[in-house]
Each structure stands twice: as C-alpha cells, then as structure tokens.
A and B are shown apart, each in its own frame.
Chain A
Amino acid sequence: MNLTTVVVLASIAVYSWKLIGYLVPQNVLKHPGVSRTAGLLTVALLAALLAVQGFTSGKNVEFDERVPALVVAGLLLSFRTPFIVVVLTAAAVTAALRYLN
C-alpha cells in the first residue's frame, strides 16, 4: 500500500472518533471511568512519544543533546511561552550543543 493511501486511511480512522461522538447516545460515554481512562490514555501516549523521540535512538536508550533542550522547553512552558517558540528554542539548543561537540 502506498504512503498517501495510508495517510488518507489513518485520517479517516482519526475522524471516526469525532463522528462517533456526535452519533452515540449521550449517556454511553458519560461513565466516569471511561472518560477518565480516555483522558489518561492521551497523557500516556503523548508521554511515551516524548520519551521515544527525546531519549531513544534506534533501539537504544540515549541521553544526549536533546535532554538539555527538553529541560529548557519545560522551563519555557512553565512561563506559558507560545508553543512555536518552545519548539524552535529546543531545536536551537540541540543544534548549538551538537555544533560545539
């Protein structure tokens, strides 16, 4: 299957949740355990993506120039810095450290 087809199929899959929410009876997803778990699932997946993107290279766990960048990013986020500034600063910190090494 080519990549463009997968992009479209994946998009339909993500859209399906949005549509399901408008079509199911109101009480189905109101169960507190279900909505709590769904909220935590978002947290878990984002945290795992952060860990893999930030602390692994291939099959190895690696703490390199990305770590200080993430510390700086965390500091900026705690001062409510706009997202785009946080992302660009993280790239700049890592690029600078790699250049110096």
Chain B
Amino acid sequence: MASAASVKSMSIGVGIATGLYGISFGALSVASGFDLLQTQLLSLLMFSGGSQFAFIGVFATGGMSAIGTAVASAWLLGIRNGFYAVRMAPVLDVAKGWRLVAAQLTIDESTGVSTAQSELPEQRSGFWITGISVFVFWNLATLLGALVGASLGDPKVLGLDAAAAAAFLGLLWPRLSQSQSLVVAVGSMIVACALTPWLPPGMPILLAGVVAVVVGAFNIFKPKEVAA
C-alpha cells in the first residue's frame, strides 16, 4: 500500500519531528555541566535519546562521583537497540562494513518506520532514510540547543529540571500501552524514590531495573490471554 514516495516522506517527517527534540537534549546537556564538544559527541556517537538523557540526567544529580552509574544507566537503556538490531538484520541483509553503519542507525524510530511497512524494499528504505534523517536533524538540533543552553541563566529558574522530567515522561509514554508495563513503571518510580535518601546518586535508578527483571522473568501482571 505504501509507495516508495510515501515511505520517503514518512521517514523524513519522523526525522524532523524526532530531531527537533534534540534541541531540548542540547540545552539540558549544557545545563547539566557538559561542554559543547561533549554534548555533540553524545549525539554523534551515543545517538540514542533515552541513553543520552539518562547519561546527562544521572551526571546532573551526582557529578563525577555518579559517573559509573551514569554510564551503566545509559548502557542498560541501550539494550533495546540490540533487540531492534536482531529484528532488522534479516531485513537489511547488508555486508559486514555496512553493518557497522546500520548498527549506529538502529534506534526506536528507524526500526519503527521499517517494521510498519509491508514490503521488503520499503522496509529497507524506511530504515535507512529514517535513520539518516533522525541522525542529521538530531545532531543539528543538539548543536542549536547547546548554543542556546549556554546562553541561558539558572536552569532551576527556567524550569529545566521539570523539562528533563517531562522528556523522560515523553520517552516513557508510548511504552505504557500494556498493564504490565504500567505496573513496572509505577513500581520503579516507587523504588527509585524510596531508595534515593539511602543510596548514592544513580544507584536507585539501576536498582529500579530489578522491578523489570522480576516482572519480566516470572511474567507476572501479564495481559489477559484467551485460553488456548
């Protein structure tokens, strides 16, 4: 149903829409204490919104003493990209060198647009065009946000701490469609808040991940299924 032209416009549309919130990443990164180069490196090299926001967010709460947990949070949030890669590998079927490029572009949006297509050529072009446009717009927007952020005043007066929280809510929102994920989300929020007074910055976030492991491994609170 989807023609080559419509896949192209959909991919670029997703690229622009996603890229735009790179502005908020750039501004928050600078407000969290990263310089322009470090901020841009995160968008060029890490290139995964959730991991990038996690990395700067944990660093903002604890500075260099929380750097280990900042890296661990970013790393663990990147796991899902590995699962996207497993799904994309047979679709893209590219040579070894190109796999390195495809890997970097394997994120929520490129996988999302690709898997929404019914035919193989559109699945491939959807992945590449979305991946490349998100990469380009995300990096340009990061630069813009970092430049704007550097000229802003006190992050708290401007409500940038609330902006960072809203960014996590925005990343979380589309994943809350099932009751199981809702239970995990609420459980992790309670665990993270309850542990914050007792543990070094970042640790409550990592330990909240245990909620997911317990619920996932035992498959509790699973959506109702029709008996086979």
B51 touches A53 (CB 8 A): no
A20-B93 Cα distance, complex, nearest whole Å:
15
Query: Across the interface, which residues of B come within 8 angstroms of A11, CB to CB?
Result: 41-42, 45-47
B216 touches A41 (CB 8 A): yes
A52 touches B196 (CB 8 A): yes
A29 touches B83 (CB 8 A): yes
A59 touches B197 (CB 8 A): yes
B99 touches A69 (CB 8 A): no
Q: Say yes or no: is B54 at the interface (Cβ < 8 Å to chain A).
A: yes
Query: Across the interface, which residues of A come within 8 angstroms of B193, CB to CB?
Result: 51-52, 55-56, 61
Tell me the nearest residue of chain B to A36, going by C-beta: B216
Binary interface encoding of chain B residues 8-24 relative to chain A, with 1 for a CB under 8 A from any of its CBs, else 0: 00000000011011011
Query: Across the interface, which residues of A come within 8 angstroms of B75, CB to CB?
Result: 10, 13-14, 17
Binary interface encoding of chain B residues 164-191 relative to chain A, with 1 for a CB under 8 A from any of its CBs, else 0: 1111111111011000110011111111
Distance from B5 Cβ to chain A, minimum over Cβ atoms (Å) = 24
B188 touches A65 (CB 8 A): no
Which residues 2-42 of B sit at the A interface, judged by CB distance below 8 A? 17-18, 20-21, 23-24, 34, 37-38, 41-42
Q: Say yes or no: is B1 at the interface (Cβ < 8 Å to chain A).
A: no
Binary interface encoding of chain A residues 67-101 relative to chain B, with 1 for a CB under 8 A from any of its CBs, else 0: 00110011001000011101111111111101100
A38 touches B79 (CB 8 A): yes
Which residues 45-60 of A sit at the B interface, judged by CB distance below 8 A? 45-56, 59-60
Of B76, B83, B169, which one neighbours A73 at CB under 8 angstroms? B169
A88 with B163, Cβ < 8 A, contacts A7-B42, A83-B17 known: yes
B50 touches A42 (CB 8 A): yes
Of A40, A60, A65, A86, which one neighbours B166 at CB under 8 angstroms? A86
Q: Say yes or no: is B121 at the interface (Cβ < 8 Å to chain A).
A: no
Distance from B191 Cβ to chain A, minimum over Cβ atoms (Å) = 7
B77 touches A42 (CB 8 A): yes
Interface residues of A (CB under 8 A from B): 3-4, 6-24, 26, 28-30, 33, 35-56, 59-61, 65-66, 69-70, 73-74, 77, 82-84, 86-96, 98-99
A-B CB proximity, top 6 nearest: A21-B85, A37-B216, A94-B159, A90-B166, A48-B208, A11-B45
- Can you show 30 pairs from A to B with CB atoms below 8 A apart? A4-B41, A7-B46, A10-B74, A11-B42, A13-B74, A21-B103, A22-B86, A26-B86, A39-B181, A41-B213, A42-B80, A44-B184, A45-B188, A46-B172, A47-B208, A49-B192, A51-B188, A51-B193, A54-B165, A56-B193, A59-B197, A61-B197, A69-B166, A70-B165, A82-B20, A83-B167, A86-B170, A88-B163, A90-B162, A99-B157
